[in-house]
Amino acid sequence: MGNSRAYAVFRTTDATEAYARAVQLRAQLAECDAEADLYAELRTVEDVRRMVAVLPEARYEYLEIRTGPAGEHIWLDLDVATAEATALEAHLPLDAETEVPTGTVEERFAAALGEGMAEIRWRGLWPARPEVKQYASANDDGVQVLFHGEQAQLNGWTEHHTVFVHGAHNRGGLTRAQELAASIGGEVLGGPQLGW
């Protein structure tokens, strides 16, 4: 988390459509980082099974912090790939988090999601346009698609899926967000949010 500002530019109840619009935006980055960040909340055994099939090497952990009798942090000590359903169910809900090479498994990840919140983040650089005060920012630029949420900071489950563009707050961010939103048939939905 840092100084970027996130603008919601598309919202829908169709996860496939949200993902497709986010991919259209990713294609507009002048440069895209080699790795994408993936995160998903897993609420059911079936959610875990689908996600393990897509992301066998992801880090799987308890969704909420669990502590022992002395207040110590308890880590998940279960092999989610081989655990029987009843054993796995006792540990739910979980989350999965990983980085993957950009353009490899993101579509399969989106298709494997259940009803939990999830996100894909692609960082990169927007094309610089000094004539309208739009400059690239390696720390701030990128695209995020949030499944079952409307806040860039993963706060509060909704039925909607939201696509965000991220950029520096002082470098023509709103103008850029409006142009990018229009390019995918969307519009800026509300003011800027804290990004990454």
What is the torsional sign of CA 117, 176, 183, 125? negative
The pTM assigned to this predicted structure is 0.93
- Distance between CA atoms of residues 108 and 53, nearest Å: 10
Q: What is the pLDDT of residues 82-129, one digit of tens each?
A: 999 999 999 999 999 999 999 999 999 999 999 999 999 999 999 988
pLDDT of residue 171: 63
pLDDT of residue 2: 54
Longest dimension (CA), the chain: 61
Output the CA–CA distances (angstroms, integers) from residue 39 to 53, 97, 117, 194, in the order listed. 15, 4, 8, 18
- Distance between CA atoms of residues 36 and 63, nearest Å: 21
pLDDT of residue 44: 98
pLDDT of residue 136: 81
86 Cβ contact partners less than 8 Å away, ≥ 6 residues apart: none
**Residue 22's pLDDT band (boundaries 50, 70, 90)?**
very high
- Distance between CA atoms of residues 82 and 132, nearest Å: 55
Output the CA–CA distances (angstroms, integers) from residue 118 to 38, 128, 175, in the order listed. 8, 30, 27
Place of tokens 């509060």: 156
pLDDT of residue 1: 44
Strands 31-42 and 94-101: antiparallel
